[in-house]
Structures are given as structure tokens and as C-alpha cells.
Amino acid sequence: MSAVEQPHVLVVEDEPAQREVLAYNLEAEGFAVSRAGNGEEALLQIRENPPDIIVLDWMLPNVSGIEVCRQIKTRAETRDLPVIMLSARSEEVDRVRGLETGADDYVVKPYSVAELMARIRAQLRRTRPAAIGGQLTFEDIVLDGETHRVTRDGKPLKLGPTEFRLLSTFMEKPGRVWNREQLLDRVWGRDIYVDTRTVDVHIGRLRKALRQHGGADPLRTVRGAGYALG
């Protein structure tokens, strides 16, 4: 991670298990993480030690996430603080949208870690561009997280959303072997039921996409273990 200084994320989530999983993932990505288990705590922390971005669960005891968000966006000194809302169901997203709380982005549970990460980066890119490297590079492949574009040897590649997330996962740690479970968690999202063999199919599609202008297959199949880039 090429952060000059670690971006600081505040995670507001009342369910300890989910909070910790999220915090752990963020820490693993090189973020500095603070935690809050409820709205009051969140508002207090924002005043005492303002983060660079907030990931806010919609459902919170007492002061709801919506209310927290509203307060953040009302105060002049915190108005620029990016807020990403987490919501449990897709129907609720519409309600949240309707309420116009001013959140900068919404992520629906179950979300893929990769997706949330990408959105956090997208927000930070807006406010702290220096802290985030917008592009990932591996050999002649360049992936731009902001524009969602991938090029190989300068030529643009056409790939679907799933293939894009797959590739970004691989490109974050070139060489690392991911097993199918890990890829499902990361690319598809936790708590989603899909056959693990489906991963194979998408790997195949990604391979095809990467070869569309010629060039060798950069993906490596590790029999009995999973897949890796390079």
C-alpha cells in the first residue's frame, strides 16, 4: 500500500462480530481503524478524533445511523467527511435514498469486502487523493479503480463486473493463491450461496478477457488450492 499516511476510518456498527470483521479487513488493507458501537460514541469520536471517512451501519440502537449521518452533514465542520452507509436489505436502500440523509455512498449487505474497499477508496480519492493509489499494475496490465477500466499493453480490455472484481482482488496481491472460498467471500460477498465451481467459470471468463488481444495467460491454477495472478 502506497499510503503516505494511513487513512483513518471510523467503523460504526453495533454488532461486535461484524464490526470486528470489517475492522480487521480494513486494517489488513492498511487503514487505521477506530470503532464505535453506537451513535453517541460515533459522534463523540468524530469530535475528538475526526477520521477521514466513516462507515456507518444504518441500524443502530438509540441514535440511528440516519440520524448520525444527518448530524454529520448538518455541521459545517464535518460536512465534508465522507459517509458510507451500510444497509441490511436492498428495499431499505430506497428508503434511505428517499430520506436524503446526505450519505456519500451506500453499500447493501451482504456486501463483498472488495466492493466496500473500492467504495471507500473512491470516497477517499475525492477527499484525500494522495492517500490512495488509484491504479494497480501487474506486468502489462493496468487496472484503474476509479474509472473501472482495465488495459493490457495499452489496449483497453472489456470485462464484466464480476471479472473486474476478481481481477482487482488478484492484483492487490500478485502471486498470492486464493482458494475458492476466499474468492467467493471477497468477490461475491459473504453470506451468498453460490457453488464454488462457479469460481472456475469466472476464472475462465477472466482468462478469456485477458487474452482478447493476444498475450499469455497471467493466471495460475494451483491444483487443490485455488488461483493466483503470476
Partner DNA sequence: CAGCAATATAACAGTTTCATGACATGTCGG
Partner DNA sequence: CCGACATGTCATGAAACTGTTATATTGCTG
Residues that bind a copy of itself (CB under 8 A): 3, 5, 16-17, 20-21, 23-25, 27-30, 112-114, 117, 133, 146-149, 160-161, 173, 175-177, 179, 181-182, 185, 190, 222-225, 228
When CB distances are held under 5 to 8 angstroms depending on the partner's kind, the choice from a copy of itself, DNA, none that residue 5 binds is a copy of itself
Contact 85, 107 (CB under 8 A): yes
When CB distances are held under 5 to 8 angstroms depending on the partner's kind, the choice from DNA, a copy of itself, none that residue 54 binds is none
Which cell goes with 197? 465451481
Crossing angle for the helix pair 113-127 and 161-172, to the nearest 10 degrees: 80
Neighbours of 230 (CB within 10 A): 13
Binding map of DNA across residues 179-198, x = CB under 7 A, - = no contact: ---------x---xxxx-xx
Comparing CB distances to a copy of itself, the nearer of 63 and 228 is 228
Task: Give the residue from 167, 168, 79 showing the smallest Cα distance to 122.
Answer: 168
SS3 of residue 125 by DSSP? helix
The yes or no reply on residue 162 touching DNA (CB under 7 A) is: yes
The yes or no reply on residue 204 touching DNA (CB under 7 A) is: yes
The yes or no reply on residue 203 touching DNA (CB under 7 A) is: yes
The yes or no reply on residue 8 touching DNA (CB under 7 A) is: no
> Which residue type is seen at 44?
L
3-state helix, strand, coil in the chain (%, to 5): 45, 20, 35
Bridge partners, 56 (sequence order): 12, 85
User: Minimal distance in Å, beta carbon 107 to DNA?
Assistant: 15
The yes or no reply on residue 224 touching DNA (CB under 7 A) is: yes
For 153: left if phi > 0, alpha if psi spans -120 to 50, otherwise beta; the answer is left
Comparing CB distances to DNA, the nearer of 56 and 203 is 203
Q: Could you list the residues that contact DNA (CB under 7 A)?
A: 1, 160-163, 188, 192-195, 197-198, 200-205, 207-208, 221-226
